[in-house]
Chains A and B, each alone.
Chain A
Amino acid sequence: MTLAIETQSLGYAPGRGFQISNLNMKVPVGSLYGFLGPNGAGKTTTMRLLLGLLPAARGSITVLGEAMPAAHVQVMSRTGYVPERPHIYPTLTVDEALRFHSAFHPRWDQPWAEELRTQFNLVPDRRVGALSKGETGKLMMLLALAQKPDLLMLDEPTDGLDPVVRRDVLEALLSYVSVHQATVVISSHLVHELERICDWIAVMDRGSLVAELPMRQFKDGIKRLSVADAPATLAATPFTILARRPDNGSGEQWLVRGWSSDMQSYFGAPGATLRKIGDLDLEDGFVELLRSFREAK
């Protein structure tokens, strides 16, 4: 599996917030890699480290086959970045911002930039600082896409935007990815959006990567088990129990991850009996995952 991004034992200690230590991240080439995690978990910090905007304290970072931050110029010319907060000069007009950005990116597609600008309904001589939140979001995606990148790093690109704008932005993104086989790393709180578009999912909590696997596997592995006669303390389970709750009536409900169908054999021996296996909504599963991580600590 060729990797677009790889970190090894990456470490960073911000002034405040969680320390990132021993982070081993692997983003496959051409994947749509979803990055989930609560606020303050370190997603934005990790993205900044990957792009060379912050200096790592320890470990190595390889982006598009080059070491970062040494190859910063080469990598950034192939990478489109949409940060959490707008980073474009507010006094430039939309047209001026496009013009400025285009100067730095040799693969800039002017006709497509114009097309997107019209599609996004951005007035050319409106100042960037005067744009609404939705318009700013669209502009930043426009700038990132029109440079025809091989890698897109998107930090909450659609969070806080209205549904119409979200649709416009995602359509443009997916349209690009369909044709150009770019790798996309997208962090978001909108779990249902990530569920639709991502084929890889990574979960970060308090500076550590809690999970990193194909979306299909993650979803298939999260189940709600109806269990009867479960003892208070359990022998080691092949799956991870996120939560045990009393069920309405008798028995318990177990929320588990890492489940595969052959694990039913665990319930063969006398003791707990498996009554039903149910699916779990990704958002619910994600919430339980984080809750369990908190309780463990």
Chain B
Amino acid sequence: MFERIDPRSSTPLYAQIAARLRVAIAAGELRPGGSLPSVRQLAAQLRINPATVVQAYRELEAEGLVATRQGAGTSVLDVSAERRATERTTEARRLVRDLLAEAGRLGLSAKELRAALDSELNGRKD
């Protein structure tokens, strides 16, 4: 699930992890009641600072997506369909924002971008 985590990115690691988990919860990949890997497990598996994992989990907890209980780890909360839809929209817009920023850096116009998006989507046909 976390293969794309990149310590060299300008986005802090905890934010990358939280974002990935947010999408997973929104898409139903992580079901309500299911548990997230323990801090110990995830830190060791990704070979990152445990404090980073803790920060990511805390952020999700503040957003009402997960709950941490002493000794029981962190579990996914039941999220309403609307909430899930909102998260999906937020993530999609986040992706688009990054894309637009990168396109801006390269000097691509909105028209060129839209044309590319159409051709790619037609190619995928879903």
Any A–B CB pair closer than 8 Å: yes
User: Which A residues are within 8 Å of any B CB, using their own CB?
Assistant: 32, 167, 170-172, 174-175, 177-179, 192-193, 195-199, 216, 276, 279, 281-282
User: Which B residues are within 8 Å of any A CB, using their own CB?
Assistant: 7-8, 10, 12-13, 38-40, 43-53, 105
Q: Which 10 A-B pairs have the closest CB atoms?
A: A178-B40, A178-B50, A171-B44, A175-B44, A174-B43, A174-B44, A196-B7, A170-B47, A195-B7, A196-B48
Please classify the interface of chain B as helix (H, G, I), strand (E, B), loop, or mixed, using the class held by over half of its residues: helix
A171 and B51 contact, Cβ closer than 8 Å, known pairs A178-B39, A179-B40, A196-B7? no
Q: Tell me which residues across on chain A come within 8 A of B51, comparing CB atoms.
A: 32, 199
Q: Tell me which residues across on chain A come within 8 A of B39, comparing CB atoms.
A: 178
Name which residue of chain A comes closest to B52, CB basis.
A199
Please classify the interface of chain A as helix (H, G, I), strand (E, B), loop, or mixed, using the class held by over half of its residues: helix
Interchain CA distance A171-B42 in the complex, whole Å: 10
Q: Tell me which residues across on chain A come within 8 A of B105, comparing CB atoms.
A: 276
Interchain CA distance A170-B48 in the complex, whole Å: 9
Residue contact B8 to A281, C-beta cutoff 8 Å: yes
Name which residue of chain A comes closest to B47, CB basis.
A170
Residue contact A32 to B49, C-beta cutoff 8 Å: yes
Residue contact B8 to A282, C-beta cutoff 8 Å: yes
Number of A-B contacts (CB under 8 A): 52
Interchain CA distance A212-B62 in the complex, whole Å: 31
Interchain CA distance A132-B50 in the complex, whole Å: 30
Name which residue of chain B comes closest to A170, CB basis.
B47
15 contacts between A and B (CB under 8 A): A32-B51, A167-B47, A174-B44, A174-B47, A174-B48, A175-B44, A177-B43, A178-B43, A178-B44, A193-B47, A195-B7, A197-B47, A197-B48, A279-B10, A281-B8
CB distance from B59 to the nearest CB of A (A): 15
Name which residue of chain B comes closest to A281, CB basis.
B8
Of B40, B45, B105, which is in contact with the most chain A CB atoms at under 10 Å from its CB? B40
Interchain CA distance A269-B20 in the complex, whole Å: 42
Interchain CA distance A279-B105 in the complex, whole Å: 13
Interchain CA distance A171-B48 in the complex, whole Å: 9
Residue contact B8 to A199, C-beta cutoff 8 Å: no
Name which residue of chain A comes closest to B13, CB basis.
A196
Interchain CA distance A50-B108 in the complex, whole Å: 55
CB distance from B85 to the nearest CB of A (A): 33
Q: Tell me which residues across on chain A come within 8 A of B13, comparing CB atoms.
A: 196
9 further A-B pairs in the complex, CB-CB below 8 A; given A174-B49, A192-B7, A199-B52: A170-B47, A171-B45, A172-B44, A174-B43, A177-B43, A179-B40, A196-B13, A196-B49, A199-B49
Name which residue of chain A comes closest to B46, CB basis.
A196
Interchain CA distance A177-B43 in the complex, whole Å: 9
Q: Tell me which residues across on chain A come within 8 A of B40, comparing CB atoms.
A: 174-175, 178-179
Residue contact B49 to A198, C-beta cutoff 8 Å: yes
Q: Tell me which residues across on chain B come within 8 A of A170, comparing CB atoms.
A: 44, 47
